[in-house]
Amino acid sequence: MSTEIRHFVLTQSGEIREFSSEEAALIAAGANRLPEFAERRMRYLQVSWDAESGAELRIQTAGAAIKFDSDGRLTEAAPPGDEEKISRFEHDTCVQWALRNMAVAPLTFH
């Protein structure tokens, strides 16, 4: 069984940016900056799944609100506030994008 993880930052303007696990780890450690997010609080969604043998695919998601300092370094991760909730559409879009390279047929989204 292998676990795959994808990381997404969602902006208030509707942009969704995907980061690899390596990029996300550097950002979380403060070793990588995102100047375009300086002094902003953003929404974050992590999508992970275990590809087990057989036809079952177990998907888990976790959301958070993340805050960046004036240099674009991550300073905080917390549960999202009421105004920062990730919509069902945004959630489903990130999950489907994360699974886009899966070669499983037929694929049914619920």
- 10 Å CB burial of residue 40 (0-12, 13-18, 19+) is middle
Residues 6+ apart with CB under 8 A from 37: 9, 68, 72
Task: State pLDDT tens for residues 4-24.
Answer: 899 999 988 889 999 999 999
- Go through 69-81 and write b for each residue having 16 or more CB atoms within 10 A of its CB, e for each that does not: eeebbbeeeeebe
**What confidence score (pLDDT) does residue 26 get?**
95
To the nearest 10°, report the CA torsion of 49, 79, 75, 42.
Answer: 80
pLDDT digits (tens, 9 = 90+) for 45-99: 999 998 665 667 889 999 999 999 999 999 999 999 888 899 999 999 999 999 8
Which DSSP symbol is given to 72?
S
Q: Per 3-state DSSP, what percentage of the chain is helix, strand, and coil (rounded to 5)?
A: 25, 35, 40
Token pair 């695919």 is found at 57
pTM, whole model, 2 decimals? 0.85
What does the DSSP assignment read for 5-20?
EEEEEE-TTS-EEEE-
